Amino acid sequence: MSPKADTKTSAKKSDDGFTAEEKAAMKARAQELKAEARASKDRAEGEKAILAAIDAMNEPDRSMAQRIHELITISAPELMPKTWYGMPAYANADGKVICFFQAAGKFNVRYATFGFQPDARLDAGNMWATGFALLQLTAAEEEQIKTLVKKAVS
């Protein structure tokens, strides 16, 4: 293979690699890691970061994220608020993310996502859900979120 062909191949891989949204998420995550190191698991700093991330969202994501933040703060006050890839997330005492909210606008999709990471204790047999699509929050979804978050941290 000629050097010219190698250049084209590597350029193509680079061009086809990550979307603009993925690159922005990686950049946000790098900034979050730096902020986490400085904050040293400071609840006030995490709260400030989450509220800033929520304020930057468009509706209806903003309202849903704000309400979910309130629900988690009440249901599982032991979880530490933080941002994760630019989105609101909540971590256990070890700093491992337990649950998160992903705005629909983040990747231009039709629904927001409320999800759980592997350290969430949601096991139910051999198969269980770890992510939920959200079009809107009603009392029924709020109750389900509170129940799942309580179970995740139990």
Per-domain residue ranges of the chain: 19-153
pLDDT of residue 105: 95
Residues 6+ apart with CB under 8 A from 127: none
Mean pLDDT along residues 103-122: 96
| Consecutive H or E run containing 5 | helix 3-16
36 confidence band (pLDDT: 50, 70, 90): low
Residue 10 has pLDDT above 70, yes or no: no
> CB–CB of 63/104 below 8 Å?
no
pLDDT band at 27 (very low <50, low <70, confident <90, very high): confident
Strands 112-116, 87-91: pairing kind: unpaired
Length of the chain: 154
| DSSP annotation of 44 | H
Is the Cα torsion angle 17, 23, 25, 30 positive or negative in sign?
positive
Q: What is the pLDDT of residue 11?
A: 35
**Average pLDDT over every residue of 149-154:** 96
| Beta bridge partners of residue 87, listed in sequence order | 84
- Separation in Å, CA 57 to CA 64, 72, 130, 154: 10, 19, 23, 31
Which pairs with CB-CB distance under 8 Å and at least 24 residues apart come from 100-106? 101/64, 101/65, 101/68, 101/69, 103/57, 103/58, 103/61, 103/65, 104/61, 105/57, 105/58, 105/61, 106/21, 106/25
User: Average pLDDT in the 92-117 region?
Assistant: 96
**Where does 19-153 sit in CATH, by number?**
3.90.1150.200
Element (DSSP H or E) covering residue 146 = helix 139-153
Q: Any idea which of 5-14, 15-24, 97-106 has the lowest mean pLDDT?
A: 5-14
Q: Say what the pLDDT of residue 126 is.
A: 96
Of residues 33 and 74, the one with the higher pLDDT is 74
Q: How confident is the model at residue 20 (pLDDT cuts 50, 70, 90)?
A: confident
Distance CA 154, CA 59 (A): 32
Kindly report the average pLDDT of the chain as a whole number. Answer: 87
Give the model confidence (pLDDT) of 61-94 as tens digits.
Answer: 999 999 999 999 999 999 999 999 899 999 999 9
